[in-house]
């Protein structure tokens, strides 16, 4: 059977994912199912059924915040590009990435820190109640954890940086700090992650918030 329309392809992909999860004996909780399946759909990696961690009610709280017009802040322009702009507009929200802004690079040089740190400092000041989606820089995630310990209360922290240096440690710290401070968080433990994963998590939440879970309603995107 051939599938030509994007919505048909997505539906068949999700059917395959459901079947493989079943064959692996994996039963996803109802609240987190759409997020985990969206990440698997994006990566074709079923490890995310095991390594994605959610603080209590993280999905419900994030969906409520997005319905209230919460912004999304990413640590890469790649993640920013992958986030559904039609869903955001439908909810009255916006998405931003400050990494490429000239003042960020200049301040990073002056302070001797990464641009990711400066961009998180700026976003924490300008949009403190945003969804913060980190898919690349562990320094961004560690900086967010510091801000949360000092009183920042974002709508959600998505912690999925990818790599080998300080990556697993940054995720564990962020998850612990968010849990302690009552901040919703979705974190991929271990080395795996990336900008595509960050965008996939945001999109799963946006589709739920904007009532666009059926692919036909968004053209399969």
Q: Catalogue the active-site residues.
A: 41
DSSP designation for 168: H
Contact 91, 66 (CB under 8 A): yes
Contact 62, 39 (CB under 8 A): no
Q: At what angle do helices 102-111 and 115-126 cross, to 10 degrees?
A: 120
Q: Determine the Cα–Cα distance for residues 166 and 86; give it in Å rounded to an integer.
A: 35
- Are β-strands 131-134 and 95-97 bridged in parallel, bridged antiparallel, or unpaired? unpaired
Q: Determine the Cα–Cα distance for residues 175 and 134; give it in Å rounded to an integer.
A: 13
Contact 148, 178 (CB under 8 A): yes
Contact 104, 111 (CB under 8 A): no
Q: Determine the Cα–Cα distance for residues 64 and 42; give it in Å rounded to an integer.
A: 24
138 — phi, psi (to 5°)?
-60, -30
**Tokens in use for 4?**
């030509």
Q: Determine the Cα–Cα distance for residues 111 and 72; give it in Å rounded to an integer.
A: 26
């Amino acid at each position: 059977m051939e599938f030509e329309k994007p919505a048909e392809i997505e539906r068949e992909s999700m059917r395959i994912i459901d079947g493989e999860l079943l064959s692996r004996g994996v039963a996803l909780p109802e609240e987190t199912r759409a997020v985990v399946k969206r990440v698997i759909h994006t990566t074709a990696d079923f490890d995310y059924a095991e390594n994605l961690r959610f603080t209590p009610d993280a999905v419900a709280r994030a969906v409520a915040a997005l319905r209230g017009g919460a912004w999304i802040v990413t640590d890469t322009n790649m993640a920013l590009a992958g986030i559904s702009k039609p869903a955001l507009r439908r909810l009255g929200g916006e998405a931003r990435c400050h990494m490429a802004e000239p003042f960020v690079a200049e301040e990073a040089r002056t302070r001797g820190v990464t641009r990711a740190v400066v961009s998180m400092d700026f976003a924490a000041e300008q949009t403190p109640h945003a969804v913060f989606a980190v898919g690349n820089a562990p320094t961004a995630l560690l900086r967010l954890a510091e801000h949360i310990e000092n009183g920042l209360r974002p709508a959600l922290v998505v912690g999925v940086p990818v790599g080998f240096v300080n990556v697993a440690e940054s995720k564990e710290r962020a998850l612990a700090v968010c849990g302690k401070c009552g901040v919703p968080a979705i974190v991929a433990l271990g080395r795996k992650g990336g900008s595509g994963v960050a965008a996939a998590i945001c999109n799963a939440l946006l589709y739920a918030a904007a009532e666009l879970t059926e692919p036909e309603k968004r053209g399969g995107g």
